[in-house]
Structure 1
Amino acid sequence: MLLATPMHRLFQQFVERLASASSRESLGDAMSGAAAALHLPCFAYLAVPDRSGNAPQLISNYPLKWTQHYLQNNYERFDPVILEALEQPEPFKWGLGLERISFSTPQREMLAQAASFGIRHGFTVPIHSASGLTAAVTFAVDERRPSFDRCIEEYARVLQLMAICFHSHALRKLHPDHGIGGWSLSPRELECLEWAAQGKSAWEIGRILGISRYTVASYLENAKEKLGVRTIVQAATRLAAARTQQQD
């Protein structure tokens, strides 16, 4: 029998807490606990606005005064971290000494304000869909200590998987209405179809969502039946077309 490693146990507990979460607050508690165990005291999940005009959605343990100020001033429109996440799908570190672009005056002011709340360095995981950036998950610290760099170097892929899992569960809490183009898919059917459209196997989707691959296959079959198609490619195409019509 293989013994579970501390990281394996941490991730499993994280997935279990996400699965049982019944609110935005309990989702945030799940991520806060897992991140704190890795000596990452702050996190923020930002679901970016889409073309339909939906407001940004934030789940975070950042200071409330800062998050309220951030959203009220629409900082997501020029936040350099979000702008970089728009351009690339891979996770990246940011902070003092890691600047890749020259900042505008509003951006410098925004970063200075964030630093005053102890948000000076971070590791951000962009989450992209077929239509572009969907969300970004950031783990932040007040100082760039050696322990922060070691954590990112050793657990970057684990943090990425945690971010993807969190996003999957947050979708159901932030967007409960899954009626699209006259079809009504359940939250799980929609989640499984979206991941399958990105090339994920049933086994991979099961790991992300914390369910078995057989359950994933069942959800995908239900989705195909509801959409009146035979293949995942056809289902994803029909879903994408319906969403495009909604946004126009």
Structure 2
Amino acid sequence: MARKDVIQEFLDALHTASEEVAFASAASRLGDALGFRWFTYLSVGDGKPDVMSTYPAIWSDHYLSSGYDRVDPVVAASRRQTVPFCWGALDSARPADAAAIRLFDDAASFGIVSGLTVPFRGPKGRTALFTLSTDEVSPALLRRAEELKFYVQVCGLHLHNQLAGRVERFMPEHPKRNLTPRQRACLLAAAEGQSAKQAARSIDLTPRTVQHHHEEAKRRLGAQSLTHAVALALREGMIS
């Protein structure tokens, strides 16, 4: 498929997407078509970062739990500039900071060795990054990345704007992810493997009310499924 057709297919997919999973699917297809293995959209501010990615879940969890967003040279560079840039094996500069070196070494153990990142500035010091990355190291990749900077910047800008307008957790002023006591209780029951009917008996609710609390918790957390909501609530310490 010609490059212009790849970009058009991506923009068309964004136009019709309404849920996060559709945006992620479109970005994944774009990265594959342009010769990259993974994509990431990362939004960082004062609190915990929000991330949408095709990286292995174990790596994404390790990155966030290690606080790597605070020492990541790619995030730091994105705070300083507004133009696309290459990093890792595509950039001759090696980080001197011990924490950054550990981050790059950890990423390499998952095969993540190089990438192309487009930064975006948001309100109140928030920064977003759209990244295409790969396990490939070659002169051909460097040439391709340089040629693709403008195209990836255009695609990233469209993705950034659409997510900010349609996906609650990426909205500039999205509400805090607070859950009510009932929502936490219903998620905890789900985490323990209870069905809605079983949870209803243990919490003294109707099964329909349990399902309603599940749906509200998913909405507040920006989750795509009940399993996803449970994982997010566990990660952020809302249930244990």
TM range, normalised to the smaller chain?
A: 0.5 to 0.7
Given the superposition, is the C-alpha separation of residues 99 and 132 from structure 1 closer, same or farther in structure 2, using an over 3 Å criterion? farther
The alpha-carbon deviation at position 13 of structure 1 amounts to: 1.1
Aligned to 2:115, what secondary structure does the other structure show? strand
Given the superposition, is the C-alpha separation of residues 85 and 58 from structure 1 closer, same or farther in structure 2, using an over 3 Å criterion? same
Structure 1: distance between partners of 2:52 and 2:127? 14
Given the superposition, is the C-alpha separation of residues 49 and 176 from structure 1 closer, same or farther in structure 2, using an over 3 Å criterion? closer
The alpha-carbon deviation at position 22 of structure 1 amounts to: 2.5
* 2:65 pairs with 1:69: no
8 Å Cα contact 1:85/1:133 also seen in 2: no
8 Å Cα contact 2:123/2:172 also seen in 1: no
Given the superposition, is the C-alpha separation of residues 135 and 147 from structure 1 closer, same or farther in structure 2, using an over 3 Å criterion? same
Aligned to 1:89, what secondary structure does the other structure show? coil
* 2:59 pairs with 1:34: no
Find the counterpart in structure 2 of residue 7 from structure 1: 3
* 2:81 pairs with 1:88: yes
Give the aligned residue type for 1:42: W
Q: Pick from 167, 171, 174 the counterpart of residue 168 of structure 2.
A: 174
The alpha-carbon deviation at position 73 of structure 1 amounts to: 1.8
Structure 1: distance between partners of 2:163 and 2:8? 18
* 2:108 pairs with 1:112: no
- For the pair shown, the structure with the greater C-alpha radius of gyration is 2
The alpha-carbon deviation at position 178 of structure 1 amounts to: 7.9
Q: Pick from 41, 46, 50 the counterpart of residue 45 of structure 1.
A: 41
TM-score w.r.t. structure 1 length? 0.63
The alpha-carbon deviation at position 175 of structure 1 amounts to: 3.9
Structure 1: distance between partners of 2:29 and 2:171? 29
1:171-209 per-position Cα deviation (integer Å, ceiling 9, x unaligned): 1203487889xxxxxxxxxxxxxxxxxxxxxxxxxxxxx
The alpha-carbon deviation at position 37 of structure 1 amounts to: 0.6
1:34-82 per-position Cα deviation (integer Å, ceiling 9, x unaligned): 11011111111101124xx4x2111111111100111122210111111
Structure 1: where are the runs of 5+ without partners? 181-248
* 2:115 pairs with 1:122: yes
Find the counterpart in structure 1 of residue 147 from structure 2: 154
1:79-131 per-position Cα deviation (integer Å, ceiling 9, x unaligned): 11111111111111111372546422221111111001111011111112465
Give the aligned residue type for 1:116: S
Aligned to 1:127, what secondary structure does the other structure show? strand
- How many pairs does the alignment contain? 173
Alignment root-mean-square deviation, CA? 2.4
The alpha-carbon deviation at position 26 of structure 1 amounts to: 1.5
Structure 1, 168-177 or 59-68: larger mean CA deviation: 168-177
8 Å Cα contact 2:50/2:170 also seen in 1: no
Give the aligned residue type for 1:29: S
The alpha-carbon deviation at position 133 of structure 1 amounts to: 5.0
Aligned to 1:135, what secondary structure does the other structure show? strand
Aligned to 2:129, what secondary structure does the other structure show? strand
Give the aligned residue type for 1:74: G
Given the superposition, is the C-alpha separation of residues 81 and 99 from structure 1 closer, same or farther in structure 2, using an over 3 Å criterion? farther
* Percent pairwise identity: 32
Structure 2: distance between partners of 1:49 and 1:106? 20
Give the aligned residue type for 2:87: W
TM-score w.r.t. structure 2 length? 0.65
Given the superposition, is the C-alpha separation of residues 97 and 129 from structure 1 closer, same or farther in structure 2, using an over 3 Å criterion? closer
